[in-house]
Amino acid sequence: MLNALIERAKQIKSADFQEQEESSLRVPHSRVIRHAGGRFLLMERNFNDIKSGKIGDYIRANRDKLFLDNIRTRFPELRGIPKNKIIAFDIETCGFAYRDPTVSIGFTTFGRELATKSGVLFARDYSEEGPVISYFLKMLEDYEVLITYNGTAFDLPRLDERAKLNGISLATNKYAPLTKALKCEHIDLYPLVKSRVRLPDRKLSTIEKLIFNFERIGGIPSARIPELYRRFVMEGDGKGNVEKIMQHNLFDTVTLKALLTYLCAA
């Protein structure tokens, strides 16, 4: 009886953001999620199903480096934290200013072997930014470690500010990282990679070229995402680019997984 009540309580807690419907955008592997009085698009993929070329091949060839003991050896602060409590994420925005809305939030999880999930939360218009951020922050309550690339300077303070502008309450001041509100450990891979590789810039695409000898072909460069997104929202143009934006963000999180593998191989 007690177990049944506990399970029902979990269902009630998650019901708000589990209701879903078909998406008119017809983006593969995606569905519409209702949450916090709004809706947005969610794409989810199993890691093994993502065509990530050399990046995926690198992760598969070095999967032993992502054993929990290896991760804890490289990052002693993670001792005692289960692997399924680690999540990597990356955001896409309409620009670099705090007034520019969030376009999408990509994430990837860490579980046994390579049976992990990657996903993207996508705001189909500016009004869906709030539900996207609210849903993601709700997700983070189930995790204890955040993995980012340049998240200290960009992703975390940007989400913090955009959450406030959308009326989402956070127990932080204007520029404090979300980790203080969420009580999560944060590992920013950028300074760790920079200490080992001479980088001309902070782009993940640069990392892919220099470390993994890989270059994305046929996708959307991150610099074009703000322009293409605004065109889609304001003019309803370029629906095909929505899938490319989501795939770009999804692939970013796969690269984060490869970077963690690379650092743990040291």
**Tokens 């944060």 map to which residue?**
186
Domains of the chain, CATH where assigned: 40-264 (3.30.420.10)
Q: 165-183 burial string, b = 16+ CB within 10 Å, else e?
A: ebebebebeeeebbbebbe
Q: Which residues, at least 6 apart from 81, have a Cβ–Cβ distance to it below 8 Å?
A: 144, 145, 185
Q: Residue 67's pLDDT is what?
A: 87
Please give the average pLDDT of every successive group of 10 residues along the chain, which has 266 residues.
41 44 71 95 87 85 88 91 93 92 95 74 96 96 94 93 89 71 91 92 90 86 92 81 93 93 88
Predicted structure pTM score: 0.88
How many Å apart are CA 222 and CA 217, to the nearest integer? 13
From residue 14, give the alpha-carbon distance in Å to each of 26, 62, 190, 263: 25, 35, 34, 35
Of 25, 15, 13, 20, the C-alpha closest to 39 is: 20
Q: Residue 175's pLDDT is what?
A: 66
